[in-house]
Each structure stands twice: as C-alpha cells, then as structure tokens.
C-alpha cells in the first residue's frame, strides 16, 4: 500500500523529477545497455555515453582497479563480472587529450570536481586506461590525502634539506608505478647521473627499472628516486606523452595535516589543546612536492588530470566541493589556467541503466527493486550519486 502511494506520487511528479525516466514504461527493470566496446579510447560522445562497458582484464588489473573504491572492487569480485559506465566528463577530457596533448605540447590540466561519490576517480580511471592503451606513460597518485594523515617512516630528507621523506609511501608508490607501466619502463633510460649520496650513484643511460630496483632495495632513497624520475619526465627525456592522475589534489595546498613535527614548537592557536607541535604540511613532504611539480604547466608532452575532494581538507570537515574553495587562493593560482570539469550526478538514462545492471547482475535482490516504485525510491535516496547508489543498493 505504501509502495503504491509512493509510486502514485512519484508518477505524478514524473514530469518534474529528473529521475522520471527511471520509471520504465514497460514497468520494472529492463536489460542493461552494454556496449561491446571494451577499449576506452574508442568510446565516443555520440554513441557510448550512458552505456556500460566491460573493461579488459589487463586494463583492469593495471590501471582501473586502482581508481575504484574498495567497495566497488569487492562488488565486482562478488558478482564475478565488471561493468563501468561511460560518462561524458571522461570522454570530453579524452577528446581534448587526443587532439591537443602530447607531441611536445605544453601540459594541459583538468580538474574534476563533484560531490563525494559522484564518480570523479572512475572518470580519471577511464581517461588513464584510454591513455595507457595509446601508449602513454602513467603517473598516478591515489592516496595523497592518506599520506598526509599518517606517516610511515618519516625522516629528514637528504636530497632536499629542510623537508621530510616518507620512505614507506615512496616504496609503495614505486612498486605501483612499475606495475602500471611494466611494458614501457624497460625502454626508458635515465639521461642524467643520479647521485644518491656521496658514494653511490646511478650512471646516466641506465634504465628506469634499475633506478626503481635500487630505490626498493634502499627505501631510504625512494623519495629521491621519485624526484629523479619526475625530473626526467619534466626534462622531456621520455619519448611518449605522460599522463599525470592525481586524486584529491587539493591536499597539496592544505595548511593542516595529520603528521606532527615534534621538533617545532609553536604558539598555540585560540582554543587549541596541547601538544602544540607544528603540522608537517604537503609543502614539507618531498614526495608530495615532487608530484606537485608535475602539476605545473612548465613542461611539455603531457597532461594532468586531477580531482578535488573534501577528503583532502583535513580536520575542517568541509562540506565544500567546489574547486576554488577547496584549492584555496594558492592552489588556484598554481593550477591556473586549468579546465574545470564537473562530474554531475546520474541523469535519468544513466540511473535507469545502472539500476538495470544491478538487477541483472543480481546485486539488487529484493522484489521491490524491480518495481517502478522501488526504482524511483532508489533514485530518490541516492539523489543520483553513484557511490550512494552503490551503498544503498547493497541493502536492497
């Protein structure tokens, strides 16, 4: 009875609701619309927007998996199948990159913004997979905001005096970087001699794999290795274009962090409780500063795609999700000029398709989820947010 009244009310509001199309004319769920095109670089704005595609195994393992939330990865493992939606923001960025990036052109910068759970990281993943298939070098950072919350093996930096190295994260990232670019890396050569300390150095002309192996063996120098590799990219010694993907980029300009510097005592702020130690911000971390250099516009043959999220606004619990507010004056001035790309909530067609796929794949088990009223309720509860829909659908 209640579902009937909800259904009636929603049917009456169908014309006004953006999710009106979720109420299928035939009634209930229908087949999900999948595309056979599993190659992200071949998705086009005309034909594939709103359709689901199944990523290839190689793409998934190497690239796309890292851009997904753990919940989504678990979902795909549970269901035994993977399907990602092709959406407009990724295709627009892909179009720009294909036409105007690479080939020695200056670095283009795109900033994805949207509410939490709207799908920014997955859009970046789509762009990254497409670029990888085109043969680009991928430099992706997923956990910068976590690097700022917890410190692993923090020590003072030797290669950049006055700053701090996080050796653990450096090693993890190098391993991840190697796994992502396994085919390309053996062909890359270092053009300069890299001196780790007074005694040890890697000669020019050695492969990148050697540098990474050295840094993994000597974790102390992992951040230095990252810095050297990034210097190489900026010099232009890499023959193919480079795509930099940085999730939660606004943490680079945030004034707080979870890492305290015991060596620095400062005057307490109003109402602050002891201990009054200084935060080690991203400006003082060599690893983050190295990636920040890649987001600058002074290098060629590459592009940078970033996302801004309130997750990077530590300890303020901001409800802001607009880029200028999250980046602040300093971050905006650093990234300017960039192209802001809005990742909007699901539209009616996308929502309908997503619900269809959830029903088909067996994730939505309740009978109500197949009815018009149930689908409308799911659409209403999630408000078009992809992450919310994933979470709520798990309860239906």
Partner 1 sequence: MTPTGKLLLLSGLARRLLAAPSNHSLAAAGYSNSSSSNSSDVWSIGEGGVDDAGAASVSGRRGASSRRAGFAGYSAADVAAAAAASNTAGFRSLVVPGLTKEAAKPPLLRSRHPLTPRCDRMKPAHSSWPSVWPTARTFHPAAVPLPVRQGRPNNATENAGISPNKWGNTELIKVPNFLHLTPAHVAAHCAAIKHLCTPWPKALDEPGVIDKQLPLLVVTTDYLRSHHSIRDIRARRVDLSLCLDRLVKLDKRSLEKLLCLVSFSNFAKVDTQVVGSSRVRHLRMWSDRCPWRFQNYDYLIYALSALYSQSLRHESWESGKAWIDNQRYEFDGSSSQKKLAKLANEPATNAVTHYRNALIKLHRQPENGGTGETHDSLRQYGRAVEFLLGIGKGGGGGGGGPVKKLDASSAQQTGQTKRTTERQAAS
Under the rule (CB under 8 A), what is the footprint of partner 1? Answer: 95-96, 99-101, 103-106, 108, 113, 297-298, 300, 322-325, 333, 336-342
Helices (H), 101-166: 120-134, 144-147
Select 330 or 367, whichever has its Cβ closest to partner 1: 330
Select 229 or 303, whichever has its Cβ closest to partner 1: 303
Nearest to 106 by CA among 295, 330, 343, 320: 295
- Token pair, residue 5, equals 């009244």
How near is the Cβ of 106 to partner 1 at its closest, in Å? 5
How near is the Cβ of 337 to partner 1 at its closest, in Å? 4
How near is the Cβ of 327 to partner 1 at its closest, in Å? 11
Residues 6+ apart with CB under 8 A from 246: 140, 141, 144, 291, 294, 295, 304, 305, 306, 307
Query: Which bin fits 102, alpha (ψ -120 to 50), beta or left (φ > 0)?
Result: left
Q: Residue 84: what are its φ and ψ, rounded to 5°?
A: -120, 150
Burial environment of residue 375 by CB neighbours within 10 A (0 to 12, 13 to 18, 19 or more) = buried
How near is the Cβ of 96 to partner 1 at its closest, in Å? 5
Select 32 or 335, whichever has its Cβ closest to partner 1: 335
Select 99 or 162, whichever has its Cβ closest to partner 1: 99
Cα(313)–Cα(331) distance, integer angstroms: 13
CB 262 within 8 A of CB 202: no
Select 31 or 45, whichever has its Cβ closest to partner 1: 45
Select 342 or 363, whichever has its Cβ closest to partner 1: 342
Select 99 or 274, whichever has its Cβ closest to partner 1: 99
Distances (CA, A) of 167 to 27, 131, 180, 218, 393: 57, 29, 20, 9, 40
How near is the Cβ of 351 to partner 1 at its closest, in Å? 20
How near is the Cβ of 90 to partner 1 at its closest, in Å? 15
How near is the Cβ of 103 to partner 1 at its closest, in Å? 7
């Amino acid at each position: 009875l209640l579902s009937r009244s909800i259904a009636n009310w929603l049917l009456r509001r169908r014309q006004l609701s953006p999710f009106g199309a979720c109420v299928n004319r035939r009634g209930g769920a229908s087949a999900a619309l999948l595309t056979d095109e599993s190659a992200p670089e071949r998705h086009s704005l005309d034909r594939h927007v709103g359709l689901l595609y199944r990523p290839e195994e190689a793409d998934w393992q190497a690239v796309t998996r890292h851009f997904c939330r753990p919940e989504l990865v678990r979902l795909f493992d549970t269901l035994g199948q993977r399907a990602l939606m092709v959406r407009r923001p990724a295709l627009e960025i892909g179009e720009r990159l294909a036409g105007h990036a690479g080939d020695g052109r200056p670095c283009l910068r795109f900033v994805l913004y949207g509410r939490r759970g709207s799908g920014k990281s997955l859009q970046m993943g789509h762009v990254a997979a497409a670029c990888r298939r085109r043969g680009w070098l991928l430099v992706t950072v997923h956990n910068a905001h976590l690097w700022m919350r917890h410190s692993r093996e923090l020590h003072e930096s030797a290669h950049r005096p006055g700053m701090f190295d996080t050796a653990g994260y450096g090693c993890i990232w190098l391993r991840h970087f190697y796994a992502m670019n396994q085919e390309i890396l053996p062909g890359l050569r270092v053009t300069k001699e890299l001196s780790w300390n007074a005694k040890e150095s890697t000669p020019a002309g050695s492969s990148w794999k050697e540098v990474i192996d050295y840094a993994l063996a000597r974790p102390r120098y992992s951040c230095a290795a990252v810095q050297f590799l990034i210097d190489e990219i900026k010099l232009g010694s890499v023959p193919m274009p480079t795509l930099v993907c940085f999730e939660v980029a606004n943490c680079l300009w945030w004034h707080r962090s979870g890492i305290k510097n015991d060596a620095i005592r400062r005057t307490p702020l109003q109402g602050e409780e002891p201990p009054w130690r200084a935060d080690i911000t991203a400006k003082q971390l060599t690893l983050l500063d190295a990636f920040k250099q890649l987001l600058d516009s002074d290098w060629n043959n590459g592009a940078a795609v970033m996302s801004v999220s309130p997750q990077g606004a530590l300890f303020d619990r901001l409800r802001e999700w607009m880029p200028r507010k999250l980046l602040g004056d300093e971050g905006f001035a650093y990234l300017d000029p960039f192209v802001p790309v809005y990742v909007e909530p699901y539209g009616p067609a996308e929502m309908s398709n997503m619900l269809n796929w959830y029903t088909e794949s067996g994730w939505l088990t309740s009978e109500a989820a197949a009815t018009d009223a149930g689908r409308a309720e799911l659409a209403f509860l999630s408000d078009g947010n992809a992450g919310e829909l994933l979470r709520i659908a798990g309860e239906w």
